[in-house]
Structure 1
């Protein structure tokens, strides 16, 4: 088994006033050659957007972009004509494919919006752009990991053009769970949203990131009330569509 540990305070940081963002991997002005990606997981940004502010219309292509709101209401508009608002308990996915433009704005004027912005390299290039969002409130479980993203449109959660599976879990102190990898050659990057946990003997705190690969499962224990995101992705960049 191989592992990589990214403590919360080692992340890149940019505070633009309207946007306060922490970057697990190289992004914009934060460039660290040792922190470019974890397999096909390219971006993991922990964003806070000031009331009434947001990202103006900008383009993307050939990337699977996942947004997971943690607090507040985030309004989305795109060049396909979609207008939607996502909030805590939702998951949003956008397959940029051959090209799409979109904007994101904090719909509230009295509180911040906090969300994770996650980019995954796709295994197919120049697909037709696509947008989707779902509520995960009905599939959420207590003290167990539950799936919120997969490669299969028929599975629980949203789907992406990549052999990736995301799971969320909310745990009470002392709870345990085991996660079995879905596909050989994949790795799992765990991101601690709240609390303190232990994964395969490694103690982790809020906003720490921990990657594991060349193994087929992980053992999880919650050392306090916690919330965790597991992102299983191919480790080979050969899995990126050309």
Structure 2
């Protein structure tokens, strides 16, 4: 069974410096239909204007994944990390017992676009942690997050696996699922998931028997294998 979360139903906040679409209830936008799926709590599609960003702010007990879709995000945190994450890269912070961090677009003229994704951890008040993955432009299915660091993925404090799909038109595959629930977030392109059409910004919760994917165009998406 497929439950579609249409892009048109997402929350939207435009703060001038930040133009953000929320797949699940976030900030001032609340919709009881969209409160997350299993351990997945937040998917925000953020467009950050040049020379602006998120100032220093705290988090705790959340696994925070960032995927840079366009531009560069400059990161600084209370663990001593100070780095620049570029388009195609993933970053994972385990907030644990507490961190502070900032994220800025330091480019003078270009917008930065990121997906900011939060998952609840399966352990509380652990030591904070930080990881990055280098860009990988190859097509196919790439495991970026897992509980055991399989295939060079980043290790998350949750029984969840997150894959990036980058596929040409006309490809078919069965999405992997070790947990009880899957969730697909389409970044770009047109996809059939169990014969249901999905396109840019759409999401879909999928049961174990609804994992057949076919691309109608070149497409990019994230697949969440959730407990």
TM > 0.5 fold call: yes
TM-score band by shorter chain is over 0.9
Matches within 5 A, 1:1-242: 2-137=1-136, 141-142=138-139, 144-183=140-179, 185=180, 187-213=181-207, 215=208, 218-234=211-227
- Cα distance in 1 between the residues matched to 2:210 and 2:176: 4
Count of equivalent residues: 227
Structure 1 position 216, deviation (Å): 5.4
Task: Extract structure 1 runs of 4+ deviating beyond 4 A.
Answer: none
Contact 1:90 1:133 in 2 (8 A): yes
What's the secondary structure of 2:8's corresponding residue?
helix
The Cα shift of 1:158 comes to: 1.1
Alpha-carbon distance between aligned partners in 2 of 1:17 and 1:231, rounded to the nearest angstrom: 31
Per mean C-alpha deviation after superposition, the further-off stretch among 217-226 and 202-211 is 217-226
- SS at structure 2 position matched to 1:9: helix
CA distance in 2, matches of 1:216, 1:173: 23
- For the aligned residue pairs, the C-alpha RMSD in angstroms reads 1.2
Deviation of the 1:71 alpha carbon: 0.2
Is contact 1:141-1:169 (8 Å) kept?
no
Q: Using a 3 Å threshold, how does the CA distance of structure 1 residues 154 and 169 change in structure 2: closer, same or farther?
A: closer
In 2: Cα distance, 1:98 partner to 1:3 partner = 36
Q: After TM superposition, give the deviation of residue 105 of structure 1 in Å.
A: 0.2
Contact in 1 for aligned 2:143/2:162 (Cα 8 Å): yes
Give, in whole Å, the separation in 2 of the partners of 1:95 and 1:8.
Answer: 28
The TM-score with structure 1 as length reference comes to: 0.90
User: 1:180 aligns to what SS in structure 2?
Assistant: coil
| TM-score (normalizing by structure 2) | 0.96
**C-alpha offsets along residues 27-80 of structure 1, whole Å, 9 cap, x if unaligned?**
000011111111110000000000010000000000000000000000000011
Aligned partner of residue 145 in structure 1, secondary structure: strand
User: Contact 2:176 / 2:225 at 8 angstroms: preserved in 1?
Assistant: no
- Could you list the per-position Cα deviations for residues 196-229 of structure 1 after superposition, in whole angstroms to 9, with x for gaps in the alignment? 010111111111111112x156111100111111
What secondary structure, in the 3-state scheme, does the structure 1 residue paired with 2:55 have? strand
Q: Which runs of 5+ in 2 are unaligned?
A: none
Does structure 2 retain, via aligned residues, the 8 Å contact 1:180–1:216?
no
